[in-house]
Amino acid sequence: MKYILIFITALLVSFSSCQNESVVINDRVVIAVGEDIESLNPLYSFSGTESNIVELLFLSLVQHRWDNSKSNIVSYPMAAENWSWNKDSTELTIELRNDILWTDKEKLTTEDVVYSFDLYSDPAVESRLFGTFDNFYTKEDQHIDINKSFEIISPNKMIVRFKPYSNPNLFDISIPLLPKHILEKYKRSDLPTAEFNFKPVSNGPFKLKNWDRNSAIILHSDSASFLYNKKNISELIFKIIPDYNGRINQLRSGEVDLLEDIKSEDADNFKKLNGFSVGPIKGRQYDFIGLSNIDNEEYNRTKKIKPHPIWGDKEIRKALAMAVNRQEILTEFLGNYGQLAYSPVTNIFNTSSDSSISPYQYNLAEAKNILKERGWNDLDNNGIIEKDGKEFSIKLFVPSGNPLREFAGTIIKNNLREAGVEVQIETLEFGVFIENVMSRKIDAFMAGWSVPLPVELKPYWYSDLNQSPLNIVGYSNKEADQILDDLGFSISSKKYFDLLHRFEIIMHEDQPVIFLYWIDNIVVYNSRIKNIVIDPLGVIHQCWEWNLEK
């Protein structure tokens, strides 16, 4: 999916002065990011930066906070003023606030809410949330059956109906809401390139002020929002600085106020400086090596599933996992701000992950033995193993502008070379990388997932690729499918976690991807920012509540 980005250059002079001044402005926070975004449409906000910005522009019915005392999430009203469940939790009655306006001064109504669910679930739209609406009444193509699932009572009141025996919760209705009166003017096939993606009509605590391509995205607090507080920050700038050292230098000089994904050694240095605060976000992001389990060329041509000639064998994937010294990357680059991964299930919830499972340890000898058992040998003594006359060679694609993956790529290349596998690292611009991964044009790549909360696994690991658009390696396992189906039903807490732990064992045994490590997102920010909270939900989360020390 590729989206064209356009921008109006008004107020550029104002931002240019911000770039050059070292004296901070008292109602502005500047956040450094490594690359530009591709869309401001919540339908297509795939990257972390896009998701952060979209949350500030578009309200959801409910909002969430992290409760440290319970290691869990609590929910509270946002666009919804209140709600009530029926006795068996199959119906949810929602009343909207009556004071929410879109930035074109139109009022938010229940028509917008229903239309939003319609768009997100429409397979023709190909939204980032497609395939995540299992608790609703859906058609065969996973499109929500709007007539069965929603009843509009008034512009401010509606009923949501869920399937019997499903397991609905408030996260099912927690999507950024979209303006029907704007988006219904477009053909749905035209939405990926719609002008709305670049100049959105929004309803959140911030609105778009300016977007200078490859320079900055500038948001301004919306005084019409019920979340507005004149004592809090009025302007938020996402400043695009591709070079990591450039981001660090501007943070140190005061040109930037906040930076995520700090290297461990830099975090330690900032801890020694006055005026900076340091904190990690744990358990939300893991990196992996994606190896297509299916023959992508065959699938793209015929839509038929055929195992990849090499990666389709889970024993090969397991051997490669053992051949990679992940602990070296974790220690040398991350400074042990993280932990080795063995599954896609986060451990931030006290009972969600299975602590009895151990990640595969670096074991070059065992990796070589497995590869030899699978018929891979170095017959010509050139250091590269071969089978059926073909050498074991991998072209591993990584996105540009990510120092960790560039470092890891070098370690992985050297590690696998010792196992007799030749690796060629290819770097792609982030947008091109995402396009190639999602369209299955590349077979091997290094990427990462930011884990949704609550845990949502089906879109990533379900065998039916029509229902799991984020299953980018084409993984398939019947038992895993059954578990993912069962997790969607109303079941006891014990059974839920028993199923989740069994799923982790399957993931560990199958290695659908080579799980590398969970990464602590180290955040450094200027201590003049007050009321900021760093937790598993992020740091930008609810930044409309930030204020600055004068």
Architecture of domain 285-519: Roll (3.10)
Q: Which structure tokens are listed for 457?
A: 């696994």
Residue extent(s) of CATH 3.90.76.10 domains in the chain: 62-183
pTM comes to: 0.72
Tell which CATH classification among 3.40.190.10, 3.40.50.150, 3.40.50.300, 3.40.50.2000 matches the domain 12-54+204-282+522-548. Answer: 3.40.190.10
pLDDT in tens, the chain (550 residues): 333 332 223 323 333 334 443 444 568 999 999 999 999 999 999 888 999 999 999 999 999 998 877 677 889 999 999 999 999 889 999 999 999 999 999 999 999 999 999 999 999 999 999 988 989 999 999 999 999 999 999 999 999 999 998 889 999 999 999 999 999 999 999 999 999 999 999 999 999 999 999 999 999 999 999 999 999 999 999 999 999 999 999 999 999 999 998 988 999 999 999 999 999 888 788 999 999 999 999 999 999 999 999 999 999 999 999 999 999 999 999 888 899 999 998 877 655 555 678 899 999 999 999 999 999 999 999 999 999 999 999 999 999 878 889 999 999 999 999 999 999 999 999 889 999 999 999 999 999 998 877 778 998 999 999 888 899 999 999 999 999 988 877 677 788 888 999 999 999 999 999 999 999 989 999 999 999 999 888 899 899 999 999 7
Taking a C-beta distance cutoff of 8 angstroms, is the pair 324, 261 a contact?
A: no
pLDDT of residue 346: 82
pLDDT at 401: 79
Q: What is the dihedral of CA 96, 97, 102, 108, to 10 degrees?
A: 30
What would the DSSP string read from start to end of 496-539? HHHHHHHHHHHHHHH-SSEEEEEE-EEEEEETTEES---BTTBS
| Packing angle of the helix pair 244-253, 264-271 (nearest 10 deg) | 10
What stretches of 410-484 adopt beta strand conformation (E)?
422-428, 444-450
Instruction: Tell me the β-bridge partners of 278.
Output: 524
| pLDDT value of position 46 | 86
Query: Tokens 């109504």 identify what position?
Result: 109
Q: Where in the chain is the domain with CATH 3.10.105.10?
A: 285-519
The pLDDT value recorded for residue 538 is 87
Would you tell me how many other CB atoms lie within 10 Å of the CB of residue 465? 19
- Residue pair 179/112 in contact by the 8 Å Cβ criterion: yes
Q: What is the pLDDT of residue 354?
A: 58
Torsion sign over Cα 266, 267, 268, 270: positive
Rounded to whole angstroms, the Cα distance separating 206 from 340 reads 38
Please list, in sequence order, all residues whose beta carbon lies within 8 angstroms of the beta carbon of residue 296, skipping any fewer than 6 positions away: 308, 440, 441, 442, 443, 474
Alpha-carbon distance of 238 to 256, in angstroms, equals: 9
Write down the residue that tokens 């939300």 correspond to. 284
- CB under 8 A, 24+ apart: contacts of 102-106: 102/179, 102/182, 102/201, 102/202, 102/203, 103/201, 103/202, 103/203, 103/207, 103/222, 103/224, 104/179, 104/182, 104/201, 106/179, 106/181
**Which residue in 426, 385, 392, 414 sits closest to 323, CA to CA?**
414
DSSP state of 106: P
> Could you give the CA distance from residue 343 to residue 503 in angstroms, rounded to a whole number?
9
For domain 62-183, the CATH superfamily is: Dipeptide-binding Protein; Domain 1 (3.90.76.10)
pLDDT given at position 23? 42
pLDDT at 67: 84
Q: Is 254 helix (H, G, I), strand (E, B) or coil?
A: coil
Counting Cα atoms < 13 Å in the Cβ hemisphere of 445 gives 25
Domain with CATH 3.40.190.10 in the chain: 12-54+204-282+522-548
Confidence (pLDDT) at 394: 96
pLDDT of residue 275: 96
CA distances from 375 to 244, 294, 391 (A): 43, 20, 12
For residues 431 and 49, the answer to whether their CB atoms sit within 8 Å is no
Contact status, residue 228 vs residue 248, Cβ threshold 8 Å:
no
Give the torsion through C-alpha atoms of 398, 399, 400, 405, to 10 deg: -60
